[in-house]
Amino acid sequence: MKTFNVGLIGMGTVGAGVAKILLEKNSPLHEKLDCVPALKGIADSNPEVKSKLNLPSDIFFTHDAKALLNNPDIQVIVELIGGVHPAKEIILEALQKGKDVVTANKMLLALHGAELFSQARRYGKSISFEASVGGGIPIIAALRDGFIANRIQSILGIVNGTTNYILTKMTKENVKYSDALAEAQKMGYAEKDPTMDVEGIDSSHKLAILAKIGFGVDFDYERIYHEGISNVEVSDIWYAYELGYTLKLVAIAKKEENMIELRVHPTLLPHDHPLSSVNGVFNAVCIQGSAVGETMLYGRGAGQMPTASAVVADLVDVALGRAGITFGAMKAFSGCCERVPISDINQIKTRYYLRFSVTDKPGVLAKISGILGNYDISIASVIQHKAKETGIVPLVMLTHLAEEGNLQKALDGIKQLDVVKDNTKFIRVEE
């Protein structure tokens, strides 16, 4: 049995999962392969980690990543620190020292992928990153290899387990956002500071990676529109439900002629849309390809063993020599892809859910629909619920397709009406 030596930097939850798979005596890797990745060394700055791990004596443990980077016996470095610094410097040094790299670091790839990949090419090494999106779902391999014959037309994904858990709880248990978030934190799904997840930033990092691989184009990450779930109200989930829609945080990528749409926001999906039934911490990605048509990949998007499963798959690719071949052939992140602009959010055309808070008297609907009409926005359905004690009623509408810039102008006008008593809620719809 040939082995390929691995140095693991960052021994958190996922790192421990990777070690568990690599150190397993009757590992499926040994049953299926004649060349396996073998754990040689671990680096973690936390001195308590070693005592928790119960490592075999032949595994080298250090608090200093440099000890692994300088070790000539280690052929591949797994970076599981996360964040930009010092993960970026560690990866650059690993490549420079002639080591392949496996990482789960979506933020680093979204923000600095081009630089890292160009350095990897310079040194003839590879960077593999299956674990960066969708945890255990092999979505990168699917887009890069399995769907290579396709012109990818759209990618729609629930790629953040924390927000999907919160929204599922709000929908199924009628719980308000802050309580659902507290529960997610108690369960260990949401961080103490949940900003990256709940504001859609984590999803936008993942969307950038999927779009680069899927569309084979380059773009400016900063221009991706993202909006999180922290302002979602249970009442909107329920009114929309009544209209036939489920609310999800969706990462959306669409390829137009000379533009791409890249956006992350709370989105209403028809109840029978495949993503509507993706609940809890699960992730799923729907891909529309020119040859394959509609597909959906579904599974656990985070967590120790699902993410470790993806990291180890990458390690096997490196050990078998496949990673270098696919990395070398992949144009994404190479700097030689066509650079395309991302549509401004005001240019997108979609349907909208609107909830106005209005006084309940004759002529209100006519005033609002008049302004919408002036901006070419046509109403598809309307529901009005019972007045609250304040005399204010929620007036809920679903529009036909409209341009977002027009909607914004109409809402500015509607805000000036004396019958409108609060900011209007609007949620984009995806059919």
How far apart CA 204 and CA 262 sit, in angstroms, is 8
Task: Give yes or no for residue 160 binding ligand HSE (CB under 6 A).
Answer: yes
User: Would you say 55 or 196 has its CB closer to ligand HSE?
Assistant: 196
Q: What is the DSSP string of 9-50?
A: E--SHHHHHHHHHHH-TT-HHHHH-SEEEEEEEEE-S-THHH
Query: Which residue bears the tokens 């909607």?
Result: 407
CA dist 140 and 324 (Å) reads 15
Residue with Cβ nearer ligand HSE (162 or 267)? 162
Let me know: does 428 contact 358? Beta carbons within 8 Å.
no
CA dist 43 → 8, 338, 404 (Å): 6, 39, 49
Closest Cα partner for 66 from 128, 7, 129?
7
Q: Which CB, 302 or 377, lies closer to ligand HSE?
A: 302
> Is the Cα dihedral 93, 95, 98, 102 positive or negative?
positive
Q: Which C-beta is closer to ligand HSE: that of 221 or that of 426?
A: 221
- Closest distance to ligand HSE from the beta carbon of 180 (Å): 14
Binding of ligand HSE by 161 (CB under 6 A): yes
Point out which span in 147-155, 160-168, 230-238, 401-409 binds ligand HSE (CB under 6 A).
Answer: 160-168
Shortest distance (Å) from residue 298 CB to ligand HSE: 14
Site for ligand HSE in 274-303 (CB under 6 A): 301-302
Closest distance of CB 88 from ligand HSE, Å: 18
Burial class (CB in 10 A: 0-12, 13-18, 19+), 199: middle
Whether residue 2 lies in the annotated active site: no
Identified catalytic residue from 106, 125, 206, 254? 206
Residue 197 interacts with ligand HSE (CB under 6 A): yes or no:
yes
CB of 327 to ligand HSE, least distance (A): 22
From 17-25, 48-56, 158-166, 350-358, span contacting ligand HSE (CB under 6 A): 158-166
Catalytic residues: 206
Q: Using CB under 6 A as the criterion, which residues of the chain lie in contact with ligand HSE when the complex forms?
A: 160-162, 197, 202, 301-302
